[in-house]
Amino acid sequence: MRQEFFVSRGTLFVISAPSGTGKTTILKRVMAEVPGLSFSVSHTTRAPRAGEENGVDYHFVDAGRFAAMREAGAFLEWAEVHGNFYGTSLEAVEAGLAGGTDIVLDIDVQGCRQVRAAAPDAVTLFIVPPSWEELERRLAGRGTDAADTVRLRLANARREMADADRYDFVVVNDDLERAVAAVKAVVVAERCRHRRDAVGLPLAIPRP
């Protein structure tokens, strides 16, 4: 019979990337393949895109509701991105971590700065494209944004990339399989370190 020696507090993972880098695809793979991860569903004022579900992809709220939550201190972090507001529920994140669940936040660099200030033990990971040319090709190839919007996203990406060296880990998405494997490796390594700290290692390794 398996016995748990301790229940540790969960780890908070923060993942950021410029728009068009492939972060959403990577995260979906990682969430599906690594057990015990919980995705934090953000609140946003932007309109749902085709196929998105309320409460699954985002909690879609109007600007008034978002402002009221922000004023009440309901967000661990919040930011305005491309003219829309996004925020992470403080209550939901704290409940998950306290119960030993590892939480994944998909937020931008503005939000990550706030999380670092509130939770300095959070593990931060930044995903970058292999080149600016490839990022532009991906954004233009999606066919969902006007040319002006693509240019705005590229300009924002340059600003966001300036924060990359502040993250604990940087993963280049030049190959999806390698990028997914790298993110999974970070999660596994951080779990091992977190559990080591929780039980006060170093522990003696039993000899055969």
The pTM of this model reads 0.81
- Residue type at 115? V
Does position 202 have pLDDT exceeding 50, yes or no?
Answer: no
Contacts by 74-77 with C-beta closer than 8 Å and gap 24+?
A: 75/43, 76/114, 76/115, 76/118, 76/119, 77/105, 77/107, 77/110, 77/111, 77/112, 77/114, 77/115, 77/118
Q: pLDDT (tens digit, 9 = 90+) per residue, 62-90? A: 999 999 999 999 999 999 887 899 999 99
Give me the residue spans of the domains in the chain. 12-198
Distance (Å) of CA 7 to CA 76, 95, 100, 191: 24, 14, 6, 12
Does position 10 have pLDDT exceeding 50, yes or no?
Answer: yes
Q: What pLDDT shows up at residue 136?
A: 73
What is the distance between the alpha carbons of residues 31 and 127, in angstroms, rounded to a whole number?
Answer: 16
Does position 206 have pLDDT exceeding 70, yes or no?
Answer: no
- Residue type at 58? Y
- The domain defined by 12-198 folds into Rossmann fold (3.40.50)
What number is the average pLDDT over the span 93-109?
93
CB neighbourhood size of 50 (10 A): 5
What number is the average pLDDT over the span 172-196?
90
What is the distance between the alpha carbons of residues 90 and 30, in angstroms, rounded to a whole number?
Answer: 23
Does position 194 have pLDDT exceeding 80, yes or no?
Answer: no
Q: pLDDT (tens digit, 9 = 90+) per residue, 21-67? A: 889 999 999 999 999 999 999 999 999 989 999 999 899 999 999 99
